[in-house]
Structure 1
Amino acid sequence: MRLFKAILLLMLVASIIPTVMVGWLSVSHTRELLVRDAQELAQERVKQLRLKLEDVLSGPTQAVVDLTNTSFFTKSQAEQQALIASVLTQRRDVLAITAFSAQKERLPGLQAFAMHEMPPSAVKEHEARALALLEGLNGLRYGEVAPQGQGAPVLTLALSVGEPVKGYIAADVSLSGLQEMLQQERVGSNGFFYVADRHGHVVAGGAGLSPGTDVSHRGPVSHLLDQVAHSPDTEHFHVGNFGHGTDALVSAYNLVPDLGWTIFSEQPVVQAYRQVKVMEDRILLGLGGAILVAVVLASIFSRNLTRPLKNFTTKALELASGNFGAEVNLPQKNELGELAQTFNYMSKQLMAYDMENRRLYESLEQGYLETIVALANSIDSKDAYTRGHSQRVGDVAVEIGKELSLPERQLKQLQYGGILHDIGKIGIAESILCKQSRLTDAEMEIMREHPGIGDSIIGAVSFLTGVRACVRNHHERWDGTGYPDKLKGQDIPMLARIVACADTFDACTSTRPYQKAMPLEQAVQILDKLSGAQLDPDVVAALRRVLQKKGVRLEGHRQPVKLAS
């Protein structure tokens, strides 16, 4: 797993880092392009709007200028009045026209208004705005915008006539057309345009900006006023970001020097750079997809590389546990496949060596066993009553072990333990061993030495190490009063408890000098009485199940009970 993680991490680093770098560079470069495009678009919009503004003002201005092209001051007063009336009739956005002499005095009869009834205050304001423009006038000049309450603001213009100056003509022009145009112009879904004068007051605008409103505090207007204050020759165009957070704007402005006005466009940054956000989201989505694909491919490649190694590890552990011949199934035609073939060849060779060693070991073991069994049989042969006893104990012990679901290795140890459990009697004097009557206490003490003697005999044989408990402890008692170690209960080795039960069972069902072979029912009753005192209750219960499953029959007075195989 650690190798898998290391390879996966290495592949992810090798694939994701370049992908992230390319994605970051793409996002950065594309963002710059899109931001520049958005700003250029905003700048182009204000340029186009300037043309529209000039077009809106060019009509009334040209109508007034055309009066000077008709030798206005050389005509009769009636003709002059007719010309003024025609301009007011043709141009509804021209609200008032007044003619002045070269001395800047209003000429009687040459003042006309689009409205028939003009309040005296409005007439005075018109004349005051016109006279303010005549000072030093040589050509065309525009005045300040004059708000008109609820009506559209008014722009006053004046121009000199002739060279030298023969007189002046001044006119009030309504900016209602400009106001309507700006209200109809939109920048995206929530942007707008407006026009401000050199003082930062609205001339006309959309988004509810009424004429005369002070907007000098707004970011783009403040920027323009600051630029003009420090550099009167500032550029006519500018575009950029203004404000921060949710109030951030993308704004462009375009100066109209003749009027002293500036056209502004404002649009929230989020709206203006929406394409930038869409582009970033798409690139990030693609980048996420690429990373996901890289993770999946890296995982597949890493797993394909480490899974065979895991298989090698599993099979190597099987070899280490003795399962020679284990093979790695790896059909790949690469270095791993060659390694698998080499591993399989090694495993087969080890299996061949193991089989040969097992054969030699089993032969050696069989030789040892035959020697010891011969010794055990020699003991049984000294007494006609005990002939075959050791073999029968081994067989019964094996059947009990099977009932208790012991593994094959312990079943083999039970077989040997049953055969060899009395091997220590070889060190007991024949006078005691073959005595036809009950032993005295002193003789019994000598007889009780045979488990220890037997343990010493087989202790030097390494493959019988697991059998030593059967030989040494088969006379221990469940209640702890047995010998030689006075072990009690579960402290007595399981194999020794089984051999003890099998030994007792065979003693009950075999004829001895001091007793006759018991009937099966009586033998079972004896075992039940000894259960929990001398014998392990679980082992006795297992023997009862064996008898029920196998069926035990008595074959004569001298014949012992034998379990059917």
Structure 2
Amino acid sequence: MRLFKAILLLMLLVSIVPTLMVGWLSVSHTRELLVRDAQELAQERVKQLRLKAEIFLGEPTEAVMGLARVPDFFALPLPAQQTHLASVLSQRREVLAITVFGPDAKRLPGLQAFSRHDVSPTDLASHEERSRVLLEGGTDGPRYSNAVPVSGGGPVVTLAFSVGEPIKGFIAADLSLAGLRHMLEQERVGSTGFAYLADPRGHLVVGGGGVASLGGDVSQRSPVAHLLRQLASTPNAELFHVGNFGEGRDAVVAAYTVLPETGWAILSEQPVEHAYRQVETMEQRILVGLGAAILVALVMAALFSRNLTRPLKVFTDGALELARGKFGVEVKIPQRNELGELAQTFNYMSKQLLAYDMENRGLYESLEKGYLETIVALANSIDSKDAYTRGHSQRVGDVAVEIGRELNLTERELRQLQYGGILHDIGKIGIVESILCKQSKLTDQEMAIMREHPAIGDAIIGPVSFLGAVRACVRHHHERWDGTGYPDRLRGEDIPLLARIVACADTFDACTSTRPYQKAMPLEKAMEILDALTGAQLDPQVVAALRRVLAKKGVRLEGHRLPVKLAS
């Protein structure tokens, strides 16, 4: 009974304590990952919004500044100058007004054009006033005013720049921000978040839902206040920040960056409770799972302890007999479970103990072979998911060995190449089938997931000691000679030679086998592709070795010559 209690307590400790530790670590680690994912999402969103905003401003700005590139614009006849102004207005709907000033910053008669027929005197005076303020501030390059509303209702910003060196005159234009406002209003930041633009004074430029109208003061919003402090301390730095702002019900996950041309900040906000909703859901699920695991552990520990203690004495007696040299002794365990199987194994062991000593070496080799065959079967299972890639891994291994033999590698290295070619895509077993077998082009997010397979494969074969040298093939077969590959962005000969060979064999098989996106290429066409990739993606020495392999097999490749000297 004491042994039963001891085993029961031990089983509970062994099962519950690690379960609690793993649960706690899972909660903390997963929470950290989910929080980081939410912040990275906000960061990526702001980057995309900044790019869109730069395009919205850049295209009409480029159209207006094209007037400065008209040869001798200020020397042209007035009708020709007016034609150029009208052309810009007709080409870019975002350009609402253009005014040409002389070198003395005074408006030139007849060189003012508007996209509307009726322009109020107030809007006209406001346009000229904003233009002159910009001209007084200097004209080293294009300058932008603060955003203001116009009679039509949409926000506008005034652009001004000088023409010629020495200065022959100035050009100013009003640009509509309606398209930029519409883009931000359409931007989805979760279910309750929004994005907006603020100027260096903390005033709203344009924005989505949840913020005040144009010109409203948003400087008291936590992200904007943080931005203004950063601008005060580092006015000329390229700012970017993402994190949690505010407290309590006003807490938000936000990110911001600054548009260098205008000095405006683009911000994205989402309430913390919505941004981190996945965190709460994850924590609840893990706690429920922990409770269920503890209950199951309690019941299973009791049953296991009771079933284990009963046959222990029988095993003890049999082991003592075996220790005394009485080989062939048998134990009688009638149970039809693992203990009964253990009794049969014990009896077989007792009878075959002497023979095992002679078979140890063969057993080790068989174990190694079996381990490898299991992993190869996993690799083949990846190929079998897609009829177009069936047999791909085996072919890559065969081609890699041929290249390695041409490079005078040792038999051990050739064997490692064979394994590396077969196992190079083993990590795809960790990629969801919807991405792995997708027939159309992968999205950026799907491609990022697909690019995790070398690291996954490395982790799979890492515990297998005799495959240690093969790990380089699995992890680095997507590295590029120019250093732009993945996952470690290795460059040139920093990439292990075996991995460079597998990468070449992989590319060659991809070209010469039928895929959903291409038919199998002739060998000559495939080698043209590999030649084009030489020095950028593939090692020139390895590609040259493959060419020699094909030549020795009687394949004629017209129009190609080997370089006189290969890189060492």
Which TM-score tier does this pair reach, normalised by the shorter chain? 0.5 to 0.7
CA RMSD after TM alignment:
2.5
Cα distance between partner residues in 1 of 2:192 and 2:62? 35
Q: Which residue in the other structure is 1:131 paired with?
A: 132
Q: Which residue in the other structure is 1:59 paired with?
A: 59
Q: Which residue in the other structure is 2:112 paired with?
A: 111
Go from structure 1 to structure 2 and tell me whether the alpha carbon gap of 1:144 and 1:333 turns closer, same or farther (over 3 Å shift).
closer
SS for the counterpart of 1:144 is: coil
Q: Which residue in the other structure is 1:165 paired with?
A: 167
Q: Which residue in the other structure is 1:269 paired with?
A: 272
Q: Which residue in the other structure is 1:541 paired with?
A: none
Cα distance between partner residues in 2 of 1:70 and 1:213? 39
Cα distance between partner residues in 2 of 1:21 and 1:150? 64
User: Number of aligned pairs?
Assistant: 314
Q: Which is greater in Rg?
A: 1
- 247-256 or 228-237, larger mean C-alpha shift: 228-237
Offset of residue 235 of structure 1: 4.2
Go from structure 1 to structure 2 and tell me whether the alpha carbon gap of 1:213 and 1:237 turns closer, same or farther (over 3 Å shift).
same
Q: What is the letter of the counterpart of residue 214 of structure 2?
A: P
Alignment map for 1:326-341 (pairs within 5 Å) = 332-335=310-313
Q: What is the letter of the counterpart of residue 240 of structure 2?
A: F
Counterpart contact for 1:227–1:234, Cα < 8 Å: no
Offset of residue 5 of structure 1: 7.7
Alignment map for 1:261-300 (pairs within 5 Å) = 261-300=264-303
Cα distance between partner residues in 2 of 1:156 and 1:229? 25
Once the two structures are superposed, what CA deviation does each residue of 1:54-89 show, in whole Å capped at 9, x if it has no partner?
111122111111111113212111111111112222
Offset of residue 6 of structure 1: 7.6
Q: What is the letter of the counterpart of residue 297 of structure 1?
A: M
Counterpart contact for 2:159–2:173, Cα < 8 Å: yes
Q: What is the letter of the counterpart of residue 177 of structure 2?
A: L
Cα distance between partner residues in 2 of 1:337 and 1:273? 55
Offset of residue 278 of structure 1: 3.6
Go from structure 1 to structure 2 and tell me whether the alpha carbon gap of 1:139 and 1:334 turns closer, same or farther (over 3 Å shift).
closer
Q: Which residue in the other structure is 1:402 paired with?
A: none
Once the two structures are superposed, what CA deviation does each residue of 1:250-272 show, in whole Å capped at 9, x if it has no partner?
10101112101011001122322
Counterpart contact for 2:89–2:95, Cα < 8 Å: yes
Offset of residue 22 of structure 1: 1.6
Once the two structures are superposed, what CA deviation does each residue of 1:84-121 show, in whole Å capped at 9, x if it has no partner?
11222222221111000011011011111222221212
Cα distance between partner residues in 1 of 2:168 and 2:81? 14
Cα distance between partner residues in 2 of 1:161 and 1:185? 37
Cα distance between partner residues in 2 of 1:217 and 1:9? 59
Counterpart contact for 2:101–2:169, Cα < 8 Å: yes
SS for the counterpart of 1:44 is: helix
Q: Which residue in the other structure is 2:253 paired with?
A: 250
Q: What is the letter of the counterpart of residue 34 of structure 2?
A: L
SS for the counterpart of 1:333 is: helix
Cα distance between partner residues in 2 of 1:293 and 1:42? 41
Once the two structures are superposed, what CA deviation does each residue of 1:410-462 show, in whole Å capped at 9, x if it has no partner?
xxxxxxxxxxxxxxxxxxxxxxxxxxxxxxxxxxxxxxxxxxxxxxxxxxxxx
Cα distance between partner residues in 1 of 2:299 and 2:219? 58
Aligned to 2:232, which of 214, 229, 233? 229
Q: Which residue in the other structure is 1:199 paired with?
A: 201
Once the two structures are superposed, what CA deviation does each residue of 1:300-359 show, in whole Å capped at 9, x if it has no partner?
345668xx9xxxxxxxxxxxxxxxxxxxxxxx43339999xxxxxxxxxxxxxxxxxxxx
Alignment map for 1:412-451 (pairs within 5 Å) = none
Offset of residue 19 of structure 1: 1.3
Go from structure 1 to structure 2 and tell me whether the alpha carbon gap of 1:4 and 1:233 turns closer, same or farther (over 3 Å shift).
farther
Counterpart contact for 1:50–1:254, Cα < 8 Å: yes
Q: Which residue in the other structure is 1:27 paired with?
A: 27
Cα distance between partner residues in 1 of 2:271 and 2:106? 51
What are the ranges of 5 or more consecutive residues in structure 1 without an aligned counterpart?
Answer: 309-331, 340-565
Cα distance between partner residues in 1 of 2:152 and 2:68? 33
Q: Which residue in the other structure is 1:260 paired with?
A: 263
SS for the counterpart of 2:241 is: strand
Counterpart contact for 2:238–2:260, Cα < 8 Å: no
Q: Which residue in the other structure is 2:543 paired with?
A: none
Q: Which residue in the other structure is 2:154 paired with?
A: 152
Once the two structures are superposed, what CA deviation does each residue of 1:225-253 show, in whole Å capped at 9, x if it has no partner?
11111222444211001122333211010
1:215 aligns with 2:193: no
Q: What is the letter of the counterpart of residue 121 of structure 2?
A: P
Go from structure 1 to structure 2 and tell me whether the alpha carbon gap of 1:244 and 1:302 turns closer, same or farther (over 3 Å shift).
farther
Q: What is the letter of the counterpart of residue 269 of structure 2?
A: E
Q: Which residue in the other structure is 1:523 paired with?
A: none
What are the ranges of 5 or more consecutive residues in structure 2 without an aligned counterpart?
Answer: 318-568
TM-score, length-normalised on structure 1?
A: 0.52
Deviation >6 Å, runs of 4+:
1-7, 336-339
Go from structure 1 to structure 2 and tell me whether the alpha carbon gap of 1:291 and 1:268 turns closer, same or farther (over 3 Å shift).
same
